[in-house]
Amino acid sequence: MHTQTKKWFYGILPILLLAVAIFGMFQGIDKVLTRSDIPLEELTFDRVWAEEGKIHATVTNTGADPLTIAQLTLNDAIWEFETTKEQLNRFDSAEITVPIHWVEGEPYDVTIITGTGTVFSGEIAAAQLAPKADVSTYGMFALIGIFVGVIPVLLGMLWKPFIAKLGGKGYTFVLALTIGLLVFLGFDSLWEAIELAVEIPGAYQGIGLIVLAGLGTFLLLNGVSTYTESRQATGSDFNHKLTIAYLIALGIGIHNLGEGLAIGASFALGEVAMGAFLIMGFTLHNITEGLAIVAPVARESIKRSKLLLHLIALGLLGGVPAIFGTWIGGFVYSPVWSLIFLAIGSGAIFQVVVQVFHLEKQESNAGGLMTPAGITGLMVGIAVMYITALFVTA
């Protein structure tokens, strides 16, 4: 056998034997184990909302067996309903419509009874007209996103001239402050993703999604950063510090998308007071993010015309995702996609933390992070984010 062929044969052989073993096990498993005839049904309510004269619900079969939507009760009373699909296989979804003249502010419990008599429930805590996907509503959510994401990030970037004039210890402090801000944001995104992973059905494998999305993003951005650093080392026009700034803006942008999701979802669920509270809290929370974006390039000599374009692009990259977040949260909110976005954001932010840490070691004339200036900046960054986060926590 040819050497190259032999190498691939030995590489593929274990996989083939494993496939044969699995096939044989499933062929004979019924003879060893007797499966219960009781179906393992699980139905998840993705969203319940109210429109004029109707209550809607979207549901997904997250169980191992197919199921049939047979009956529906509304506040314990059997009710007529329409559904886009009665027979649901695994991961199939359906939208259910219940015609009813609901009363604003009243709670409504929607219960679905399957063909086997299994009961699953979802609810509207206080009935409120859901936002309609029209031009005015899109515009309103866009303004909220601009106010929450774009404006505070751009305002924070106005610190660039101040940072550029700082001495060695001052610049060390600012870079360490940036690391502190990003560390807090990274753990904040990761924790929110873990909370969602606990809440969503186990069939989605929430922790696996976090590892896949978060680690995948970390490694991808690490490859991008390594590439630009190597190109700069060979004398090309690539600016590695500018790349780091763009990576920071990207990570912050994904994080702000998650904030937009929370705001949009609160309005979709009729929690207007909570939505307004989140808007004010996130706006205050996000003004420090502009500082984190411009810190790596504060001392870079870039032509004024190009610098202005880069600053605008960085601000938009960091802030505009909040607009898309409000749209997604307000109209098509999905906890699974929210989890994925949060995991991607945490992976991106943690990768940037590594890059800023290396940058500080290279640029600092005051000894780096493990100095009084560095440690103080790190702790002040974390403390600032913690204090501003208190305005977001109800």
pLDDT digits (tens, 9 = 90+) for 150-160: 888 888 888 88
Name the class of domain 43-124. Answer: mainly beta
| pLDDT for the residue numbered 39 | 62
**pLDDT per residue as tens digits for the range 86-99:** 999 988 999 999 99
Amino acid (1-letter code) at residue 198? V
Q: What is the pLDDT of residue 242?
A: 84
Query: Which uninterrupted H or E stretch holds 138?
Result: helix 135-145
Q: Please report the sign of the dihedral spanned by the C-alpha atoms of residue 354, residue 356, residue 362, residue 368.
A: negative
**Residue with token string 């009243």:** 106
* Residue whose tokens read 């063909």: 115
Q: Is residue 235 predicted with pLDDT exceeding 70?
A: no
Q: How far apart are CA 303 and CA 322, in angstroms?
A: 30
In the chain, residues under CATH classification 2.60.40.10 are 43-124
| Mean pLDDT to the nearest integer, 167-196 | 87
Which of 279, 284, 277 is closest to 323 using CA atoms?
Answer: 279
pLDDT at 224 over 90: no
CA–CA dist 200, 62 (Å, integer): 10
